[in-house]
Amino acid sequence: MSRRKASPVTTRCFVTLVITALHFIDTESLHTAGRTAKEGVIIRDAVGYRYTEELDDTTRAIASGKYVDASQTISNCGQLHIQTNGKYTDKEQMFAAGFFEGFTTAERIHDYWSNTYTYFVKGMNASLPEPLAWLERQEEWARRKVAEHQESSYWQMLGLLFEQFDGIVAGYNARHHMEPDRIPALSRRDFVFVNGNGELYDLLEAKSAQLHSAAPDRISAAQLYHELALKGRCSALITVTPDFSNLFMGHSTWDSYSQMIKLFKHYSFQLHLPGVAAQRMSFSSYPGELFSDDDLYMMDSKMVVLSTTNKMFNTSLYDCLTHESLVSWQRVRVANALATSGEEWVSYLDNLNSGTYNNQYMVLDLKRFTPGKELPAGLLWVAEQIPGLIASADLTEQLARGYFPSYNIPYFPQVYNQSGLQALRDSLAARGPEFGNSVAWLSYQLTPRATIFRRDAASISTLDDMRRIMRSNSFMTDELSHGSPLAAVCARGDLDAALPDARGCFDTKVSSYELALELQADAITGPTTADGLPPFEWTKEFGSVPHTGMPKVFDFDFERQRPQPSIAVF
């Protein structure tokens, strides 16, 4: 097992690589009457950048694209396709790409911002001015570094991401000025919030140690178990078939149901920057966000990246946070663009680690996978981040045993111990058997999803299987769930009879070796209805949870997400 030198690492989400099969609906075989799409281009004239749907000469277009709203899909997952024109400079391309996204998805951007911001302020009682100011200082510092490093592909790629960010703000504002009654105003800080919401969890805990203020010695055993289960974000799985003929990957997001506005994005750039390895990228995301946030990325460099989030219980680690660093979405997007191997990807992640949004990242290099052949070193790299440390290793040998899972518990002992999990387990064990479920939840080997994956991963031989496993929740009959709807691959906090909570698993994305090479995946948005569970509905019980722009009932199907040519061919 190849290991890199340990460096700062943190994780949020649960990921596992798996080979599986499951029933889904392919849009190509569906009757699509009533489905609408917005197609247009971005040009620049004397007034500036603008969006138009009336352009015969597409060579003038800096970017073109297509947007399908979630309400028009069978998966409740919106679809965004953007491609840029290589005749223009890199900065023009990236700004135009952002402008297209901000303009066409403006309604959904506001819905997502409103729901998420309200959840932070009212649902979490969070005070945001100070952490948002930290994020703004971080961005200002990073932009200065971009200006100072004109010859560095790393820093110039980051600069291009800032161009895309500026473009999305400008595109949204252009739509607001055109339709002020329909599209409310958003400030630039609001977009900092949207793209930095993953970082905010750690920044808020750094400021107030919120988790510990409501921690083990102050709440009941049942409440503690509930909070531990829902503090993590996501489940993931990577699997290979026994004969190595196929490889599968799946990811299910866990978070507040207030964030159930999903958008699958397909970017196709023609950048001239030396060192760019990936021009095309498809990924699950949210309106207004320039990164996945779940994560699931597929690049034309034949790299796939997944992540889940790990919570920290040792808040002293936050003492080393500094805004003179790069936050997670910035490092991940640069790594996605430049890396040609898992080890190289991890090296980019390790550069100026902010210690915020601390995740476990799984990086697959599909160039190294040959169906039916032995798995070569470098196929799977795993990295975990906490403040001051990123631990990583080539875990291909682990995958060769059948699967690699991810479920919000650190894999690397150094990260596990420094994050405070062992100390918390020891403390809870000393308090008595009523805390036994929480002690087990904090175990890498015995946490419920670890036991479920250990049992079920071997059953995955088709994509249908993967869909089934990543949506599974048989808490009423599965002895490994111990009667809890939280102890499942796809948790349903709303079905917790004692402590009903609109948090849990609210989407799933799965792919395979061949699909990932084509940047394709199957996706569905909404809490699981597997194993006979009722569809989630926004009833009065959860009426106080922000859910602007969402359907009342979530009962959808898997849908193939695939890159498509936009209306302009450059």
pLDDT for res 14: 36
Segment among 55-64, 306-315, 397-406 with least mean pLDDT: 55-64
In sequence order, the 6+-apart residues with CB closer than 8 A to the CB of 514 are: 246
Is 208's pLDDT higher than 90? no
Task: Say which residue, 204 or 21, is predicted with more confidence.
Answer: 204
Report residue 35's pLDDT band, with 50, 70 and 90 as the boundaries: very low
Tokens 């990260």 belong to residue: 415
pLDDT for res 565: 62
* d(C-alpha 253, C-alpha 263), whole Å: 13
* d(C-alpha 127, C-alpha 43), whole Å: 40
Is 210's pLDDT higher than 70? no
CA-nearest of 500, 508, 491, 485 to 543 is 500
pLDDT for res 432: 95
pLDDT for res 36: 59
Report residue 469's pLDDT band, with 50, 70 and 90 as the boundaries: very high
pLDDT for res 570: 57
Let me know: does 237 contact 403? Beta carbons within 8 Å: yes
pLDDT for res 201: 94
Mean pLDDT over 365-378 rounds to 99
Residue 332 resides in a domain? yes
* d(C-alpha 345, C-alpha 104), whole Å: 32
Is 209's pLDDT higher than 70? no
Segment among 213-222, 266-275, 352-361, 377-386 with least mean pLDDT: 213-222
Portion of the chain with pLDDT greater than 90, in percent: 88
Report residue 564's pLDDT band, with 50, 70 and 90 as the boundaries: confident
Residue 553 resides in a domain? yes
Residue 477 resides in a domain? yes
pLDDT for res 207: 87
In order of 288, 307, 390, 408, the CA distances from 416 in angstroms are: 33, 16, 12, 11
* d(C-alpha 13, C-alpha 311), whole Å: 9
Residue 31 resides in a domain? no
Parallel, antiparallel, or unpaired: how do β-strands 235-240 and 77-84 relate?
unpaired
pLDDT for res 533: 98
Residue 438 resides in a domain? yes
Beta strands in 171-320 (DSSP E): 235-240, 247-256, 262-268, 280-285, 296-299, 303-309
* d(C-alpha 548, C-alpha 537), whole Å: 14
Residue type, 550: M
Is 8's pLDDT higher than 70? no
Residue type, 330: Q
Interval 211-269: pLDDT, tens: 444 455 678 999 999 999 998 889 999 999 999 999 999 999 999 999 999 999 999 99
Residue 386 resides in a domain? yes
Is 128's pLDDT higher than 70? yes
* d(C-alpha 445, C-alpha 462), whole Å: 26
Mean pLDDT over 452-459 rounds to 98
Mean pLDDT over 367-378 rounds to 99
Task: Say which residue, 565 or 128, is predicted with more confidence.
Answer: 128
* d(C-alpha 410, C-alpha 387), whole Å: 14
Mean pLDDT over 146-173 rounds to 99
DSSP secondary structure string for all residues of 288-324:
T-SS-SS-EEEETTSEEEEEEE---S-GGGGGG--SS
Is 16's pLDDT higher than 90? no
- Count up the domains in the chain and report the number: 1
Mean pLDDT over 179-201 rounds to 97
Residue 311 resides in a domain? yes
* d(C-alpha 45, C-alpha 233), whole Å: 44
Interval 91-125: pLDDT, tens: 999 999 999 999 999 999 999 999 999 999 999 99
Element spanning 139, H or E? helix 129-148
Is 504's pLDDT higher than 80? yes
Is 297's pLDDT higher than 60? yes
Residue type, 103: F
pLDDT for res 392: 99
Mean pLDDT over 436-460 rounds to 98
Q: What CATH number has the domain bearing residue 481?
A: 3.60.60.30
Indicate if the alpha-carbon torsion angle 524, 526, 527, 528 is positive or negative.
Answer: negative
* d(C-alpha 309, C-alpha 413), whole Å: 16
Domain housing 97: 12-26+37-561
Residue 60 resides in a domain? yes
pLDDT for res 215: 52
Return mean pLDDT, the chain: 92
Mean pLDDT over 481-486 rounds to 97
